[in-house]
Amino acid sequence: MILLQNLYKDYQVNGKLVPALRGIDLSIEKGEIFGVIGHSGAGKSTLIRCINLLERPTSGSVVVDGVDLTALEDRKLQEQRRQIGMIFQHFNLLSSATVAENVAFPLKLAKRPKAEIERKVSELLSLVGLEGHRNKYPAQLSGGQKQRVGIARALANDPKVLLCDEATSALDPQITNSILALLRDINRKLGITIVLITHEMHVIRSICDGVGVIDGGRIVESGKVVDVFLKPQHPTTREFVEQVADSVELRETVAHEKSSGDRIIVRITFLGEQTYRPILFQTMMETGTSFNILQGTISRMKDTPYGQLVVELDGDAQQVNSTIEALRLRGLDVEVI
């Protein structure tokens, strides 16, 4: 659906060339919710604005639904942009227009018939849960309601792609969760491909199928959220994973246990339905190995349940190795830490 190939973007700042993107290669599937996570200044906002060519890349190509946007003249590009909706961190609503008028704005620009505009506005306000607010002005709305208006407006032209530029970072946690749930619902109902950028791993874990980690203008790690979250490879990725994991406490616990003697400590990862099965207990009973749970969590990544336990194993080397092998044979990922 979206293919970025060898994408570079440079800016001229005080006569000097400043690179923002450095050879980005990224592929996003149709109907996927894909997140790009990175620190401030990493290049994520530039990247998402290059997808609809609000920022024109210095070199490389941007292909959306089989069309190379970088090869289009202005008129053709404008037509293709209608297939790409965008919502913003600070909403960007027209303050002097009502909710209904804000949603209708892109439809009026496209010169749609009045009856069609009215029908579409009502349909979209129902979709985002704002049926009773159509005649209000942005100043009368909460932050979450303003973002819902922004989402409805972005969907007005029935786009195939929805870009979200830090869409929840100006909202409190409870409202953030409601907006994420709305985006997830829109993805399921409409089959629309969603690309969002964020600096919060919670957002990625909640709704994304895939993720790319950007650092210094480069994608340093990418893949399915489950794989990247549970087995982060790059230091930047591990730093973001710590936002939603007790990694600091874990390091302190492991250091304390190691200082107490020669211990075998493992991280056991459960995925899917195995998360809810007594696999650990059954295996330990069979091998006769004693164990002590140092830390554990059970949660979900979008639709996938997962669990992680940090366990101290007590027994001779052969017994412990047999236990680890038995756990792996039952489909668990076991890492000696």
Residue 109 has a CB neighbour count (10 Å cut-off) of 11
Report the chain's C-alpha Rg in angstroms.
24
Separation CA 145–CA 120 (nearest Å): 18
- Structure-token pair, residue 17: 């060339």
This prediction has a pTM of: 0.85
Among residues 152, 182, 179, the alpha carbon closest in space to that of 166 is found at 179
Average pLDDT over residues 14-26: 93
Half-sphere exposure of 332 (CA within 13 A, CB side): 27
Separation CA 122–CA 156 (nearest Å): 11
Domains observed in the chain: 2-241 (3.40.50.300), 247-336 (3.30.70.260)
**Whether residue 185 has pLDDT greater than 60:** yes
pLDDT in tens, 209-255: 999 999 999 999 999 999 898 889 999 998 888 776 655 555 555 55
DSSP run (H or E) holding 190:
helix 173-190
Separation CA 17–CA 12 (nearest Å): 5
- To which residue do tokens 């399915």 refer? 224
Q: How much is the pLDDT for 26?
A: 96
DSSP run (H or E) holding 78:
helix 74-81
Question: Is 337 exposed, middle or buried (CB count within 10 Å of its CB: 0-12, 13-18, 19+)?
Answer: exposed
